[in-house]
Chain A
Amino acid sequence: MATPLNLKELSKKEELFTPGHRLCAGCGAPIVAKMVVMAAEHPLVMTNATGCLEVSTCISENTAWKMPWIHSAFENAGATIGGIEAMYRSLKKQGKIKEDIKFIAWGGDGGTYDIGLQALSGVMERGQDVLYVCYDNGAYMNTGIQRSSATPLGADTTTCPAGSVVQGKPQGRKDLAKIIAAHQGTYVAQASPSNWQDLMKKVRKALDHKGPSFMNIIAPCNRGWRTQLNDAILMSRLAVDTCYWPLFEIQDNITTITYKPKEKKPLVDFLKPQGRFKHLFAPGNEAILKQAQDDVDAYWERLLKEEACFAK
């Protein structure tokens, strides 16, 4: 029987993603990684795209992973996990493996939205039985906070810095969850560590799903976002409560919103504590703030309509 999703029972589980890794103090990624690993009820085999989580968790003879884990390159976590899963199917078919094993690929937003998008699309299209988790911190944080296609509108990054002419990133985010949901037979979910039960339920659903799954999980980065070290969970909660980061899932083209804030907070509640948006609050940048709010509102309204469309 699966471990109940309550803290008392979960705290008894062995930690397979262990402390002692070298991620920054206050980083959201290891919180997300721990929740995902803890939710699983089967043995796991993992692959990790190059990025913060990878470089900080397996260094020389030290590893934080008490489970089989491999890193090969940046743009290929989808393909690597596909190869591992194919070998599992082959050996299982031949009777050389008895256990039921689940497969998880990890990538940051750079490794997932950008350079790894093709390999991710490939493994989803082939219908392979894997879960791909993107921990989305909204920029190339590992190389020093460069813009990615997950970086939000107006954010100050090192490759689109806020200057006297350019006010941070001129474009909004790519809607990756919907792109992956366009692949037949997928289970797609967006989650946040602030809503940990929702996150862990989705991990279990994804791992139980026969076929490819994709989870996009917000993972605040205090270095890139320029927030307080102890604010990772608070920031992920504000992202959810402002509907900047809606929690939903899409299966068989049916959208379900899994959490609706009682009171939708204004987007500035999420933007204001972050140093990367500081320039947007200077006089003259009101239009960018309005655009950002309009984008969030439009996306949320569309999600509600999509959900209503398929309501039973």
Chain B
Amino acid sequence: MGKKIGITGNEAIANAMRIANPDVCGAFPITPATEIMQRFCTFVSNGEVKTETVLAESEHSAMSACIGASAAGGRVATATAAQGLALMWEMLFIASGLRLPIVMGVANRALSAPLNIHGDHSDGMGARDCGWIHLYCEDAQEGYDNMLQAFRIGEHKDLRLPVMVGIDGFITSHSIQTAEYLDDDVARKFVGEYQQTLPALLDIKNPVSMGALILTDYYHEYRKAHEQVMMRVFKVVEDIGKEFEKISGRPYGLFESYRLEDAEVAIVVMSSAAGTTKEVVDEYRAKGIKAGLLKPRLYRPFPYTQIAEALKHVKAIAVLDRADCWGGSYGPLFTDITGALYGLDKKPVLINKIYGLGGRDYMPDQAEYTFNELIDLAKGGKVKAVKEYIGVRE
């Protein structure tokens, strides 16, 4: 059996990387993800993993080295956050376009300016359309579990796609939480050995050219192929989630529904804020209010159909975004949820709250404020503002 321990989210991610035992890690330090690679490099220095590190001079080079290493043929992992993810942005498209199953832990953090090292989802949301698989975690436990599953998902022969696993910067990356590690042997058996499915660069007997110039003749078809492979992700994520549940007792699907089955009002929120919201759901349920929660786990590709099915009976829904798309638009998660629900004949009332930017605490009173508004809307109240910043200093 596994053992219960107190760990930070970064430790959890680093420990899952130790289990996966990548052949190469290319990395560059950045707060709040630095600790992931620090801890991992201790495993390297102590011979607990076989990994060769490329301690690069920037995140752009770190991801470029990961791309070279993955194309060469082997398991590759890294970690980053915020400005680092932004600097990698160009290379994220190239990693996915070349179909390289690189796994990356991300301690989600605000983007400059102003400079802020604390948690929000601006970095991950900026990278949401780069062709990667995105998994978001509520706590350190999910960080460990998702990171282990990420290697299986990305390296799956039907996918061969890069995966990023997001934990909330500082809130999850640095706070010590109770979690349970699997026995190393069980975890290693689950992750398995890296399998090369096509000739890699180091297969000198079968030389391949990768990264060709492809113009108007076939670029469009390549992009369509990427869309098609992304649509295969759902089944793989669900299958691997079920397999993981068998060894851990912890269920993983495309998203988590919490007291949602008969809910009349619901909050959709990702990552650590889901934990706080669940407490408030319980509090409102105790008062006889049918409150519920949906927490996306697989954010890209986005399970539009499945989420619509899970939310269709709810009367009023608030989508909480820890990032914004400025200029009169709505938060990124909100536009995904509205897109998911658009096809329903009877649509729930939808509002969008922007919360917790730059590490601003998300407190139970913000969830209560939101649920109170939803209760009014569910009774036929009028929407005062579709989008609102909450937790703002006056």
- CB distance A60 to B202 under 8 Å? no
Question: What's the least CB distance linking B138 to chain A, in Å?
Answer: 32
Residues of B within 8 A of A59 (CB): 212-215
Residues of B within 8 A of A126 (CB): 54-55
CA distance A45 to B66 in the complex (A): 16
Question: What's the least CB distance linking B101 to chain A, in Å?
Answer: 13
A308 at the binding interface (Cβ < 8 Å): no
Question: What's the least CB distance linking B40 to chain A, in Å?
Answer: 14
Most interface-central of B72, B90, B98, B200 (chain A CB within 10 A): B72
- CB distance A91 to B73 under 8 Å? yes
Given A60-B213, A87-B52, A66–B207 Cβ distance below 8 Å? Answer: yes
The one of A63, A84, A89, A118 in contact with B57, judged by C-beta atoms closer than 8 angstroms, is A118
Question: What's the least CB distance linking B93 to chain A, in Å?
Answer: 10
- CB distance B52 to A72 under 8 Å? no
- CB distance B202 to A83 under 8 Å? no
Mark contacts of A30-71 with chain B using CB atoms, 8 A cut-off: 1 yes-contact digit, 0 otherwise: 000000000000010101000000110011110101111111
Given A83-B54, A91-B74, A101–B65 Cβ distance below 8 Å? Answer: no
A82 at the binding interface (Cβ < 8 Å): yes
Mark contacts of A236-260 with chain B using CB atoms, 8 A cut-off: 1 yes-contact digit, 0 otherwise: 0000000000000000000000000
B68 at the binding interface (Cβ < 8 Å): yes
Mark contacts of A173-212 with chain B using CB atoms, 8 A cut-off: 1 yes-contact digit, 0 otherwise: 0000000000000000000000000000000000000000
Interface pick from A3-11, A92-100, A274-282: A92-100
- CB distance B204 to A86 under 8 Å? no
The one of B24, B56, B98, B201 in contact with A90, judged by C-beta atoms closer than 8 angstroms, is B24
> From B66, which residue of chain A is reached at the shortest CB distance?
A83
Residues of B within 8 A of A148 (CB): none
Residues of A within 8 A of B202 (CB): 45, 68, 84, 87-88, 91, 97, 101
> From A128, which residue of chain B is reached at the shortest CB distance?
B54
A80 at the binding interface (Cβ < 8 Å): yes
CA distance A293 to B244 in the complex (A): 71
Residues of A within 8 A of B217 (CB): 60
Mark contacts of B70-103 with chain A using CB atoms, 8 A cut-off: 1 yes-contact digit, 0 otherwise: 1111101000000000000011001000100000
Question: What's the least CB distance linking A284 to chain B, in Å?
Answer: 44
The one of B68, B208, B218 in contact with A47, judged by C-beta atoms closer than 8 angstroms, is B68
CA distance A143 to B188 in the complex (A): 49
The one of B23, B52, B64, B71 in contact with A79, judged by C-beta atoms closer than 8 angstroms, is B64
B26 at the binding interface (Cβ < 8 Å): yes
Question: What's the least CB distance linking A101 to chain B, in Å?
Answer: 6
CA distance A90 to B72 in the complex (A): 11
A231 at the binding interface (Cβ < 8 Å): no
- CB distance A79 to B56 under 8 Å? yes
Given A58-B212, A69-B210, A80-B67, A86–B61 Cβ distance below 8 Å? Answer: no
B51 at the binding interface (Cβ < 8 Å): yes
CA distance A81 to B24 in the complex (A): 13
CA distance A233 to B220 in the complex (A): 41
- CB distance A79 to B68 under 8 Å? yes
- CB distance A80 to B213 under 8 Å? no
- CB distance A80 to B23 under 8 Å? no
B209 at the binding interface (Cβ < 8 Å): yes
Mark contacts of A98-122 with chain B using CB atoms, 8 A cut-off: 1 yes-contact digit, 0 otherwise: 0101000000000000000011011
Residues of B within 8 A of A68 (CB): 200-204, 207-209
Question: What's the least CB distance linking A179 to chain B, in Å?
Answer: 14
- CB distance B54 to A86 under 8 Å? yes
- CB distance A70 to B211 under 8 Å? yes
Question: What's the least CB distance linking A100 to chain B, in Å?
Answer: 10
CA distance A59 to B76 in the complex (A): 27
> From A88, which residue of chain B is reached at the shortest CB distance?
B202
- CB distance A60 to B71 under 8 Å? no
Residues of A within 8 A of B50 (CB): 90, 93-94
- CB distance A87 to B72 under 8 Å? yes
- CB distance A83 to B69 under 8 Å? yes
B58 at the binding interface (Cβ < 8 Å): yes
> From A43, which residue of chain B is reached at the shortest CB distance?
B204
The one of A43, A60, A65, A80 in contact with B65, judged by C-beta atoms closer than 8 angstroms, is A80
A78 at the binding interface (Cβ < 8 Å): yes
The one of B26, B61, B62, B90 in contact with A78, judged by C-beta atoms closer than 8 angstroms, is B61
24 pairs, A vs B, C-beta closer than 8 Å: A45-B72, A45-B202, A55-B213, A59-B214, A60-B212, A60-B217, A69-B207, A69-B208, A69-B209, A70-B71, A71-B211, A72-B67, A73-B64, A79-B56, A79-B61, A84-B201, A87-B52, A87-B69, A91-B72, A93-B50, A118-B57, A119-B57, A119-B58, A122-B61
List 9 tightest A-B contacts by C-beta distance, closest first: A83-B68, A83-B65, A79-B61, A79-B64, A71-B211, A87-B72, A76-B64, A122-B57, A63-B209
Beyond A63-B209, A65-B209, A72-B94, 18 additional contacts (C-beta under 8 Å) are: A55-B213, A60-B214, A60-B218, A70-B211, A79-B60, A80-B64, A80-B65, A80-B67, A83-B26, A83-B65, A83-B67, A84-B68, A90-B24, A90-B51, A90-B74, A118-B61, A119-B58, A122-B58
